[in-house]
Amino acid sequence: MTGTGPPARRGAGRPTREQAEARHAELLDTALDLFLEGGYEATTIELIASRVGMTKRTIYARYPEKSALFLAAVLRAIERQAVPREVLEDLDDGDLAGTLKAVARLRIEQVTTPDGLRLQRIVNTESYRFPEIFVAAYELNTALVVGFVADLLDRAAAAGRIAPTNSDQAARAFMSMVVGSQVRAIAGGRPPAPEKIDERVEFTVHLLLDGLRPR
């Protein structure tokens, strides 16, 4: 007679793969919150372990050094903040000036959120120690947006709406003028008033397009 008892149970203390992944994500999120709140130096593995409800041994088994955990947490946050190409493409309504303004505002708004501001500050303050996070922030955010703006300018030049130009340099200059200065002020605790941000965006877009007007 075949047994009909209850199915065998998973060994006690052995989490499923999904549970392990969820706990790892919780560890990275908690570590990031603490690093953003207190900075790299002041945040200890002991504090992170206590907050997330893990033992130090468990954390060290995956991240032998605090620096490895810091990098994993910050790089994950940078990846999650990256603007997907399709989001940028949705901003393109066929009006070059309007699209450029929308792209600039999107990038500025990323930094004005509480998490975006804290992330920007930790990238600014810890890049000298961890150049990887500066490179990642550029490649996963800035470079993608610069590439999108360059493509916009290339298409506009091909259509005869602007003069041919080095689109990559023009896009870099535009993003530096319209976003870089605003971000530095916001991260430095001197956020411009919303109307001033709009004024700067409008001015810089018109400055760029006036300079690229076909002669």
Compute the C-alpha angle 95/97/98, nearest 5°: 65
Q: Which two tokens stand for residue 115?
A: 């998490």
Is the pLDDT higher at 111 or at 154?
A: 154
As its CATH architecture, domain 17-79 has Orthogonal Bundle (1.10)
* Among 96, 61, 125, 129, residue whose Cα is nearest residue 208: 96
pLDDT tens digit sequence for 25-51 = 999 999 999 998 888 999 999 999 999
Q: What is the pLDDT of residue 155?
A: 95
Distance separating alpha carbons of residues 189 and 175, to the nearest angstrom: 21
The residue ranges of every structural domain in the chain are 17-79, 82-211
Q: What is the pLDDT of residue 86?
A: 92
Q: pLDDT category, 167, cuts 50, 70, 90?
A: very high
Q: CATH top-level class for 82-211?
A: mainly alpha
